[in-house]
């Protein structure tokens, strides 16, 4: 594998058999030049762009990035892989570098953006938020700054996207925003506090997460056996009425019509939260 371009003391753009790679490793680019062979023992991470035509764009991003940012992004990606114990998108380190570099540039200009979904991301994605908080502390220590808690939420969004194998950095935000709106609809409809620490509430949040993904991908559940629907409508009248409000919200905001199957599952999950055993 030969070096195409040195991007950073720890990052090189390399090529082997007409396939291009972005290679990461502490000191990997030090004392090397274009055309040199890469020592595989020095490689810590390999990024293979699925779209090889965009390798140059990734290379340009990494070439301009602060070496401390590249190191922190790598540490956060490794923490996420270890702590979540699941497959994450290979684009996570790149997405984090892009985000953190922009965050640093804004901070240096005195621009501080509030994460308006901070509370929701803490509640809906506690594991990802915990990793985001660890990342925020790494950022503060390395850069000698004091980034606010909002930044932990921003990092968490990227981890959520990586967990969903999404390259679009807005998808995690859209999912949390939709869940927040639906929970607000429920709160105003029932006028009651629920136990957010209950198993039923956790199941509702998980259901809403997958529900939101289906909406964004336009892949709603198809109607199958709806023999229970009539009984559920009668026994869970308030919950079904709330589901109808959610249906109107989805129609107005996303231009989609919920199937009766989706309505059935929403009603059942709402009933379990309101009437825990």
CA angle 213/219/221 to nearest 5° reads 100
Q: State the SS3 of 158-191.
A: HHHHHHCCCCCCCHHHHHHHHHHHHHHHHHHHHC
Q: What is the largest CA-CA distance in the chain?
A: 75
- Rg for the chain, CA atoms, rounded: 23
Please choose, from the candidates 240, 237, 245, 238, the residue with its C-alpha nearest in 3D space to the C-alpha of residue 185: 245
pLDDT at 82 (0 to 100): 93
Rounded to whole angstroms, the Cα distance separating 2 from 232 reads: 64
Question: Encoding tokens for residue 208?
Answer: 């809403």
pLDDT at 166 (0 to 100): 61
Give 10-residue mean pLDDT values along the chain (277 residues). 83 85 82 82 82 81 89 93 89 91 90 84 91 96 93 93 70 88 93 83 89 88 70 88 96 93 90 83
Residue 9, SS3 per DSSP: coil
CATH among 1.10.1790.10, 1.10.1060.10, 1.10.10.10, 3.40.366.10 for 67-168: 1.10.1790.10
CA angle 51/2/39 to nearest 5° reads 115
H helices of the chain, where? 55-64, 67-84, 92-108, 118-124, 126-143, 150-163, 171-190, 199-217, 229-235, 237-254, 260-274
Contact (CB, 8 A) for 147 and 155: no
Residue span(s) of the chain under CATH 1.10.1790.10 come to 67-168, 173-274
pLDDT at 149 (0 to 100): 94
pLDDT at 247 (0 to 100): 96
Flag whether the pTM goes above 0.85.
Answer: no
pLDDT at 147 (0 to 100): 93
Rounded to whole angstroms, the Cα distance separating 221 from 262 reads: 6
Q: What CATH number is given for 2-51 in this structure?
A: 2.30.24.10
Q: Where do we find the tokens 């959520």?
A: 160
Contact (CB, 8 A) for 157 and 170: no
Q: Which CATH architecture has domain 173-274?
A: Orthogonal Bundle (1.10)
Residue span(s) of the chain under CATH 2.30.24.10 come to 2-51
Please choose, from the candidates 44, 48, 68, 60, the residue with its C-alpha nearest in 3D space to the C-alpha of residue 5: 60
pLDDT at 169 (0 to 100): 59
CA angle 95/16/37 to nearest 5° reads 95
DSSP state of 24: E
């Amino acid at each position: 594998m030969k070096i195409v371009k040195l991007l950073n003391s720890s990052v090189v753009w390399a090529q082997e058999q007409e396939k291009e790679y972005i290679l990461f490793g502490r000191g990997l680019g030090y004392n090397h030049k274009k055309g040199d062979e890469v020592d595989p023992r020095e490689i810590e991470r390999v990024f293979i762009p699925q779209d090889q035509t965009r390798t140059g764009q990734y290379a340009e991003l990494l070439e301009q990035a602060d070496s401390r940012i590249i190191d922190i992004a790598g540490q956060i990606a490794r923490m996420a892989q270890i702590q979540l114990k699941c497959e994450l998108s290979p684009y996570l380190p790149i997405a984090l570098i892009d985000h953190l570099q922009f965050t640093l540039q804004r901070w240096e200009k005195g621009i501080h953006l509030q994460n308006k979904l901070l509370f929701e991301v803490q509640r809906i994605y506690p594991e990802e938020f915990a990793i985001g908080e660890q990342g925020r502390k790494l950022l503060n220590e390395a850069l000698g700054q004091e980034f606010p808690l909002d930044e932990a939420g921003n990092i968490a969004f990227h981890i959520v996207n990586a967990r969903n194998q999404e390259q679009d950095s807005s998808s995690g935000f859209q999912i949390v925003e939709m869940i927040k709106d639906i929970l607000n609809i429920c709160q105003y409809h029932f006028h009651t506090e629920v136990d957010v620490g209950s198993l039923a509430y956790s199941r509702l949040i998980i259901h809403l997460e997958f529900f939101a993904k289906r909406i964004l991908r336009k892949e709603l559940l198809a109607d199958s056996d709806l023999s229970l629907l009539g009984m559920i409508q009668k026994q869970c009248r308030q919950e079904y009425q709330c589901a109808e409000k959610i249906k109107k919200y989805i129609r107005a905001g996303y231009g989609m019509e919920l199937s009766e199957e989706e309505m059935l599952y929403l009603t059942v999950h709402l009933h379990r939260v309101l009437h825990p055993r």
